[in-house]
Amino acid sequence: MSHRGIPARTVERLTLYRRVLRRLGNEGQTHVFSHQLATLSNTSSAQVRRDLMSVSFSGGTPKHGYPAAGLIARIDAVLDAGEEQKLALVGIGNLGRALLSYFSFKQSKFKLVAAFDKDRDKVGRVISGCRCYPFESLVEVVREEGIKLGVVSVPAAAAQEVAEQMVEAGIIGILNFAPTPLRLPKPVFAEQIDITMTLEKIAYFALK
């Protein structure tokens, strides 16, 4: 039932479809065709249908397409929606603060509940509703709160050490903004968001 083994690319597109479907729902649209969902998600109708197959959804009809609500429910079931997820953030610099603000406004299942920094001036405060602790208390706080996901927004030189501490504390999923690859034990799932690398790619492909 709970379909593990969905390819990463498909998971990415499913979150996209869900956002599009929610918006369509708000606009009063109850059904959608694969080619519409495709256009709104920058992909092909065949890709949409294939993705829906991979979550075993087959509630579409030639007449009306897919029911938006049913589709959202199926994606929710696969992606464990609803279950609120606590996040720990390490690195309260400009990016860290932007993330704190972003997650305090945005209603989302992800909640930044603890932030950490080595700079004593930054700890003790509450920023965007999130308490800031000294880096040394990372393991303790993360364990107490039962936090499973972490966000790294420290300089590249500190990222590996921070990530290792996170793993030590029981974190099993890491979003890394530092421009350095993390080497971590297999069970930990880490993903990198590398702004400069992405720009480099854009520059390469845009400038012929």
Partner DNA sequence: TGTTGTGAATCTCTTCACAGCT
Partner DNA sequence: AGCTGTGAAGAGATTCACAACA
Residues that bind a second copy (CB under 8 A): 4, 6, 8, 11-12, 15-16, 19, 39-42, 79-80, 85, 87, 93-95, 97-99, 101-102, 106, 108, 110, 148-149, 172-175, 179-183, 188-191, 193, 195-208
Mark residues 167-186: x for contact with DNA by CB under 7 A, - for none. --------------------
Residue 162: C-alpha distances to residues 150, 155, 191 (Å): 10, 10, 15
Residue 19's nearest CA partner among 1, 3, 42 is 42
Instruction: Give CA–CA dist 86/149, Å, rounded.
Output: 7
Contact (CB, 8 A) for 116 and 142: no
Instruction: Name which of DNA, a second copy, none residue 59 binds, using a CB cut-off of 5 to 8 Å depending on partner kind.
Output: DNA
Q: Does 42 bind DNA (CB under 7 A)?
A: no
Mark residues 1-20: x for contact with DNA by CB under 7 A, - for none. ------xxxx----------
- The minimum distance between CB 13 and a second copy, in angstroms, equals 9
Six-digit token string for 177: 């903004």
**Of positions 14, 41, 55, 57, contacts DNA by CB under 7 A:** 57
Instruction: Give CA–CA dist 178/153, Å, rounded.
Output: 6
Alpha helices by DSSP H, listed for the chain, are 8-26, 34-40, 45-54, 68-78, 94-105, 138-145, 156-168, 195-206
Q: In the complex with a second copy, which residue's Cβ is closer, 4 or 63?
A: 4
Q: Contact residues for DNA (CB under 7 A)?
A: 7-10, 33-35, 43-47, 49-50, 52-53, 57-63, 65-66
